């Protein structure tokens, strides 16, 4: 017997909520909710200007210069043989940003030229792909007038090394000040918008102006005639022979450099801790490197660079912390170069690489020693004629600076015994590689830069201009 129509309606009305629940449960069981994609990694590039790798604890240095960077190395891949392409700040950093050699990107303080507009800084690619971009740097050779500000939303150069004073006034001119400004900028963004940050510090560049606290930590016993602050003028007197140094004096100058490195390292330690507090450290790609090193008497100069191409000036640290702890604690001995940083960064983010890039993604190296021994070219000053250069493999290094110098780095890491005349086959092979890599048809038209009077004065005071 069928129910009356009105009663059937009342029963269906009461059952509707249950039917809806069953329908929702059925859908949820067959179609699980979509997961939101993981956040894109933030990217941080830190350059400590004038940092030679053999003054870093993780690279075997005995003095306590870099305890925080040494701990960072445990989270990173450390590259024992990373070669800079120039012994001056502008040319080397421009190669890092564009993955081409100095004579190809065109930026030169000596020639008064800026980055060629046909080059492709990776910063432009990041910004095109939704990254906020900023740099807080020491200026001078990195002044925006030289074109390295391309691709940056914010490009702020602070005073850097004060060439007119022996002691810096306040922490704003040290790495700690750059870190503070960087964190302020990071905090202005949102977690949904990834960022790229380039931090560059001149803190350990001459003049060496350490705090008393840091100098006493590394040089407590010195009682000689030199001041705590080592000025550019003092170094000029040493290098032109008008001031003689004792062994203790030489050690004191090196300790002043090391003390400033200790200060920069403490700032990096604070920076990494602040990133952890903000939940940004783990998922960030963080690269720490330098543009060139410094000579401390190995080949005739004290506290100086930009005059030769020995390893104390071109072998610099490279540590890469990948997102999620990937490749942490790994040590890679195969030779890498400044031009490899941009391709590695873009490949890690799965972003396209411009066709003119000449570096590689260093993640492809297996460190077995069986891979191709890629030569690295470093240029002293490509405004010179003839060009002064060095080409380096993992074992051999050939210099051309007014004459050939060939060195067996396995047996002579200090580059003291010139084998150019006795090993002609090696010399000829490396010379041919240098000729190919430095082909003049790759040189661009110069684009004039117009540095301010203050920048020119700073460049001259630091020894970059006559």
DSSP for 360-381 reads --GGG---SS-S----EEEES-
For 305, the token pair is 């660079």
Does the residue 303 lie in any domain? Answer: yes
Angle between helices 175-187 and 247-277 (to 10 degrees): 10
Domain count within the chain:
1
First to last CA, the chain: 112
Q: What's the rounded Cα separation, in Å, for the pair 381 and 390?
A: 11
Whether 83 is in a domain gets the answer yes
Tokens of 71: 């701990």
Task: Answer positive or negative: Cα dihedral of 280, 282, 283, 288.
Answer: positive
Farthest CA pair distance, the chain = 122
- 257: which 2 tokens? 């450099």
What contacts 80, CB < 8 A, 6 or more positions away? 53, 59, 331, 332, 333
In a domain, 412, yes or no: no
The residues near 236 (Cβ < 8 Å, ≥ 6 apart) are 463
Asked whether the CA dihedral 207, 148, 433, 380 is positive or negative, the reply is: negative
Q: Are 177 and 144 in contact (CB under 8 A)?
A: no
- Which residues have CB under 8 Å from 336's CB, separation 6+? 79, 81, 82, 83, 318, 362, 365
Compute the half-sphere exposure of residue 234: CA atoms within 13 Å on the CB side of its CA: 20
Unique residue bearing structure tokens 């490195």: 261
CB-count burial class (<10 Å; 0-12, 13-18, 19+) for 274: middle
Pairing of the two strands 82-83 and 42-48: unpaired
DSSP tag of 414 = T
Provide the pLDDT for residue 248. 97
CB 77 within 8 A of CB 366: no
Residue 105: predicted pLDDT? 94
What does the pLDDT read at residue 283? Answer: 95
Residues (pLDDT < 50) of the chain are 1-29, 163-170
**Structural domain includes residue 438:** no
Q: Is residue 431 part of a domain?
A: no
pLDDT value of residue 173: 62
CATH, residue 174? 3.40.720.10
pLDDT of res. 13? 46
Pairing, β 302-304 against β 295-296: antiparallel
DSSP 8-state code for residue 397: E
With respect to residue 456, please indicate whether it lies within any of the assigned structural domains: no
Strand partners, 233: none
The token duo for 121 is 């800084």
Q: What is the enclosing helix (H) or strand (E) of 404?
A: strand 404-408
- What's the pLDDT at 30? 53
Non-local (6+) Cβ contacts of 388 within 8 A are 309, 379, 380, 381, 400, 401, 402
Nearby residues of 8 by Cβ (< 8 Å), 6 or more positions away: none
Nearby residues of 25 by Cβ (< 8 Å), 6 or more positions away:
none
Q: Which domain holds residue 312?
A: 42-374
């Amino acid at each position: 017997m069928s129910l009356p129509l009105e009663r059937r309606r009342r029963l269906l009305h009461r059952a509707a909520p249950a039917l809806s629940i069953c329908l929702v449960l059925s859908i949820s069981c067959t179609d699980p909710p979509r997961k939101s994609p993981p956040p894109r990694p933030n990217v941080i590039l830190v350059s400590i200007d004038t940092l030679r790798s053999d003054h870093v604890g993780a690279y075997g240095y005995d003095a306590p210069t870099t305890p925080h960077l040494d701990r960072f190395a445990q989270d990173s891949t450390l590259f024992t043989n990373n070669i800079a392409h120039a012994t001056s700040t502008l040319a080397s950093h421009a190669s890092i940003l564009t993955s081409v050699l100095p004579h190809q990107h065109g930026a030169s303080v000596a020639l008064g030229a800026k980055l060629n507009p046909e080059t492709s800084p990776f910063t432009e690619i990041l910004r095109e792909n939704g990254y906020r971009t900023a740099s807080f740097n020491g200026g001078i050779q990195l002044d925006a007038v030289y074109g390295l500000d391309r691709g940056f939303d914010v490009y702020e150069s602070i005073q850097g090394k004060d060439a007119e004073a022996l002691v810096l006034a306040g922490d704003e001119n040290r790495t700690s000040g750059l870190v503070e400004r960087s964190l302020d900028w990071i905090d202005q963004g949102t977690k949904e918008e990834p960022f790229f940050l380039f931090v560059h510090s001149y803190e350990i560049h001459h003049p060496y102006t350490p705090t008393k606290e840091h100098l006493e930590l590394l040089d407590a016993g010195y009682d000689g005639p030199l001041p705590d602050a080592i000025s550019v003028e003092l170094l000029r007197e040493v290098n032109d022979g008008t001031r003689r140094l004792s062994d203790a004096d030489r050690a004191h100058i090196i300790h002043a450099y090391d003390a400033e490195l200790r200060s920069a390292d403490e700032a990096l330690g604070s920076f990494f801790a602040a990133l952890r507090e903000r939940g940004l450290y783990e998922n960030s790609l963080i690269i720490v490197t330098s543009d060139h090193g410094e000579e401390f008497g190995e080949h005739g100069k004290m506290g100086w660079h930009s005059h030769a191409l020995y390893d104390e000036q071109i072998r610099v640290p490279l540590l890469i912390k990948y997102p999620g702890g990937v490749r942490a604690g790994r040590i890679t001995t195969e030779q890498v170069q400044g031009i490899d940083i941009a391709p590695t960064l873009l490949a890690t983010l799965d972003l396209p690489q411009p066709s003119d890039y000449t570096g590689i993604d260093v993640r492809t190296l297996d460190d077995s020693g069986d891979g191709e021994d890629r030569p690295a070219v470093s240029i002293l000053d490509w405004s010179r004629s003839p060009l002064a250069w060095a080409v380096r493999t993992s074992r051999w290094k050939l210099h051309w600076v007014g004459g050939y110098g060939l060195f067996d780095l396995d047996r002579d890491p200090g580059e003291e015994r010139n084998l150019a005349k006795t090993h002609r086959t090696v010399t000829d092979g490396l010379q041919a590689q240098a000729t190919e890599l430095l082909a003049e048809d790759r040189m661009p038209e110069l684009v004039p830069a117009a540095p301010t009077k203050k920048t020119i004065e700073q460049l001259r005071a630091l020894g970059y201009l006559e």
